[in-house]
Amino acid sequence: MRLDKYLSNSKIGSRSEVKILIKKGKIKINDSIIKSPSYKVNKNDIVKYENEKIMAYDNIYIMLNKPKGYLSANKDSNIPVVLDLIDHPFKDDLSIAGRLDVDVNGLLILSNDGNYIHKIISPKKEVYKTYIIKTKEEIEDEKLKMLMEPMDLGDFITKKSIAKKLDSNTIELKITEGKYHQVKRMIKKIDLTLTDLKRTQIGSLKLTIEEGAYKEMSKEEALLAIRGE
């Protein structure tokens, strides 16, 4: 990639602005001053502006362990949003692959790769999202079976899900849709009272970080989210 394009993509400035910086000798590559805007930047080159390393703009994949009380949105005037938890130079370009309600915690994936996000959220792709559900009442086997069968929620009928009881008041539920309030509505439909809801896994990508933390994933790790277990 040309140096001027590399720098403008990295939001150092516009194409014309970065050309001026380059010609003034403000840019170093591998500790050598480069004054040619057309210089070809290689993958392993270290590019610096004012002795600060410039991060290349590429596909970004972030795992976030969302706490309760944060809105799954890029900005809001009244409620803290999940982007407030992320310190990344390109965070404003990120989209959320499957939102969580403000009172739900757990795994969120954010990326600027639109095709990747589509593969996660599209019901046709049948990517399982795994939730840990706690209920006020003890969970009867019959209600667990009801949870696994297609369920008419009024505006749509769910696909079959996978559910297992972890203890008398805790269920692990895997669904492929993720419609608006779907898990909450499914639990209400079988006359159970939800007390806690957390997403722990998408595809075969498991939540591995503490609540409130985030990490940038490699492409290889991110692809686990669109693969089966």
DSSP state, residue 39: P
Are the CB atoms for 114 and 159 separated by under 8 Å? no
Instruction: State the catalytic residue, choosing from 101, 113, 155, 196.
Output: 101
Q: What are phi and psi of 120, to 5 degrees?
A: -80, -45
Q: What is the DSSP letter of 223?
A: G
Q: Verify whether residue 101 is a known catalytic residue.
A: yes
Q: Which amino acid is at 33?
A: I
Give dist(CA 52, CA 161) in Å, integer.
49
Assigned token pair, 190: 């079988």
Burial (0-12, 13-18, 19+ Cβ within 10 Å), 29: middle
Rounded CA separation 55/9 (Å): 10
**Catalytic sites, residue numbers:** 101
